[in-house]
Amino acid sequence: MKTSDYLKKYGVRLKKHLGQVFLSDDRIAKRIVKAAELTPEDVVVEIGAGAGTLTEELAKTGARVIAYEIDESLAPILQERLSKYPNVELRFEDFLKAKNVPEGAICVSNIPYNITGPLMEKIIEWKFKRAIVMIQKEVGERILAKPGKKTYGYLSVVVQTFYEVKKLFDVSRSCFVPNPEVDSTVVDLKRKPVDLDFEKFKKFVSMIFAKKRKTLKNNLRPFLSIFEGVDLSRRAEQLTVEEIVELYEKWRRALECSRG
């Protein structure tokens, strides 16, 4: 049965505040799962199971699948569609508030557009060793952006600091029901061996990008003594991820020393 048929069968009404669109093209789901190269030994987390198009393809790999879905009205569809897969665990809760996500798992998801930023931060926070995610094309461009590009900013830096990022393919809006107003992109994130305090790092990156067109000297004004001898005439958008991490470490060490 097609995804659109499931939605009609159970009379599902879309919830605008959740930004719901459902992947309906099985071919796209298959391409995403193939890219993930899953084995039965893997633990997979899906954020936003929706009507289960991607979930079902994940289940077929034999991997342990933990699928999160905030909308409990979709439970009848997911339970019917996935009833023959004992390797799938459905969790009807908000992933942003989840407490017991297995660290080191693989995330394979069609990320809800309206909360992409917070969800990308959660992917970093839960230390997924890999993430294959479908996101709004514009957000994908920001995540993949390099220094000097207009799209390079906070999200580019925090994601690229913790993950090697690669674009896999674009997905047309026609592959969803209802059709969203934008196209999507599938990206592959592979965890780097980085050991940084994510909360502190987020704070620092937010600070240097607070006024994007201003120089580092302006954005770091309260901490100029820490960066004595450092060229602060450039803007954050001109710095590589490595340069930003270097500045962060200098800032972090200075603050720790000042607190004794």
Q: Is pLDDT above 80 for 15? A: no
> Using CA atoms, how far apart are residues 64 and 45, in angstroms rounded to an integer?
9
pTM over the 0.75 mark: yes
Q: Which residue has the tokens 């954005």?
A: 219
Q: How far is CA 2 from CA 41, 49, 87, in A?
A: 29, 15, 22
3-state SS, residue 209: coil
DSSP string, 118-170: HHHHHHHHTT-SEEEEEEEHHHHHHHH--TTSTT-SHHHHHHHHHEEEEEEEE
Task: Summarize the confidence of residues 238-242 as an average pLDDT.
Answer: 97
The domains found in the chain, sorted by start residue, are 3-191 (3.40.50.150), 198-258 (1.10.8.100)
Nearest to 180 by CA among 145, 226, 137, 223: 137
Q: How far is CA 234 from CA 213, 217, 219, 252, in A?
A: 10, 8, 11, 20
Q: Is pLDDT above 90 for 193? A: yes
End-to-end CA distance of the chain: 64
Q: Is pLDDT above 70 for 150? A: yes
pLDDT recorded at residue 113 = 85
pLDDT recorded at residue 177 = 87
* Strands annotated E in the chain: 22-23, 43-47, 64-68, 88-91, 106-110, 130-136, 163-171, 176-177, 184-191
Comparing 223 with 201, which gets the higher pLDDT? 201
Comparing 149 with 12, which gets the higher pLDDT? 149
Q: How far is CA 214 from CA 211, 224, 230, in A?
A: 5, 15, 16
